[in-house]
Amino acid sequence: YQAKRRTGGPRWQCWDRSLTGEAELSLEHELRGAIGEGQLRLLYLPIVALPSREVTGVEALVRWEHPRRGLLEPELFVPLAERAGLIEELGRWVLEQACAQAKAWQRRVPSLQLNVNISPRQLDNQGFTGQVLEILERAGFFAGHLVLEVPESAVAGEPDLRQLEALSTAGIRIALDDFGTGHSSLRYLTRLPVDALKLDSCFVAELDGTSKGSAVAQAVLRLGQMLHLDTVAEGVEDEGQARELTLLGCEKAQGRYFSGPVPAGDLERQLPAGTVAG
Ligand code: C2E
Ligand code: MG
Ligand code: MG
Ligand code: MG
């Protein structure tokens, strides 16, 4: 396991060294049972509008509550799930849980958007869009309120765009996650059925009030604006960053300055007052 290089943020505490091959194999084996045994959890990271700071959406983030190792981070076990052929099952669990939860919150905030991360591997499955639509149907969740986050790196190279196109046609929104860190998808950007760009936290961390510090953030936000895409800043940790992003015309943001990822019960308190009684 290799930690992603990031500036700031809640990075690795206990798993800061590579897993040995053996540890990885046993964890992979345990992951097979973990999903069925109810060891996965979801945390929710609020996404707020700028400058109002009203919560307009939530990003679902998966955790594995391992019986002995404690709460494990997705960067550790999502790659394992991909290698072990378990990503479809994990992805389905995340989507089902998150849709049910967000549907309940929509009684208070009808326009609440739900962002769910998907692994590029899930897009290789030609049945993926059908599965997503089935889950939405069962949850009674409106397709237009679901945003699937695809890492920018997933659309580098010669991507098979069939699933993205089918999702988009069905009204589901697509966001390019960690934008600016993947191997350039700029060549594809105008051809991709994309609705939003998520500016990676490393560029937010560089914001320091100077033109050099804000150069990449400004360029990405400008690109998003010119393509009429929603722009969302990731990893906002202080007031200065929030202010600078607002000045640069960034529409939405997430990060510890507003709130870190929290369990469903805690998120509820951050939702704006409901418009529907009861
Ligand atoms: P991401 O999609 O870019 O998610 C945002 C990450 O930023 C989350 O890390 C969140 O905890 C973290 N974060 C929150 N506030 C701050 C802040 O103020 N500063 C910084 N620097 N970071 C902040 P987390 O939860 O550890 O997730 C890591 C990655 O794992 C996610 O990155 C996403 O790519 C992946 N992931 C999470 N859940 C799922 C899932 O259900 N399926 C798949 N395929 N991947 C997932
Ligand atoms: Mg983390
Ligand atoms: Mg994401
Ligand atoms: Mg991201």
- Partnered with residue 175 across adjacent β-strands are 149, 196
CA 142 to ligand 1 center in whole angstroms:
24
Q: Which residue's CA lies nearest to atom 35 of ligand 1?
A: 74
Whether 141 contacts 105, CB under 8 Å? no
CA 184 – CA 75 distance, rounded (Å): 22
| Residue whose tokens read 């939702």 | 271
Q: Which residue's CA lies nearest to atom 23 of ligand 1?
A: 235
Cα–Cα distance list, 144 to 8, 95, 166, 174, 246 (Å): 33, 15, 13, 10, 25
Q: Which ligand is nearest to the CA of 255?
A: 1
| ipTM score for this prediction | 0.98
- Whole-number pLDDT of residue 278: 42
Helices (H) and strands (E) in the chain, counts: 10, 9
Point out the ligand 1 atom lying closest to the alpha carbon of residue 236. Answer: 18
CA 19 to ligand 4 center in whole angstroms:
23
CA 63 – CA 70 distance, rounded (Å): 10
Cα–Cα distance list, 262 to 61, 121, 137, 168 (Å): 9, 27, 27, 29
Q: Which ligand is nearest to the CA of 179?
A: 4
**Residues contacting ligand 1 via CB (< 6 Å):** 6, 8-10, 45, 61-62, 73-75, 78, 94, 117-119, 149, 177-178, 201, 234-235, 237, 255-256, 260-261
CA 199 – CA 204 distance, rounded (Å): 8
Q: Which ligand is nearest to the CA of 199?
A: 4
CA 150 to ligand 4 center in whole angstroms:
9
Whether 64 contacts 34, CB under 8 Å? yes
**Among 93, 103, 25, 16, CA closest to 62:** 93
CA 232 to ligand 1 center in whole angstroms:
14
Q: Choose the residue to mutate in 7, 47, 101, 117 for probing ligand 1, maximizing ligand atoms within 8 Å of C-beta.
A: 117
CA 75 to ligand 1 center in whole angstroms:
8
Specify the pTM: 0.92
CA 175 – CA 267 distance, rounded (Å): 22
CA 52 to ligand 1 center in whole angstroms:
23
Helices 87-105, 21-36: axis angle to 10 degrees equals 50
The one-digit pLDDT tens for each residue of the chain (278 residues) are 344 444 444 444 444 456 677 888 889 999 999 999 999 999 999 999 999 999 999 999 999 999 999 999 999 999 999 999 999 999 999 999 999 999 999 999 999 999 999 999 999 999 999 999 999 999 999 999 999 999 988 887 777 899 999 999 999 999 999 998 877 678 888 889 999 999 999 999 999 999 999 999 999 999 999 999 999 999 999 999 999 999 999 999 999 999 999 999 999 999 988 655 44
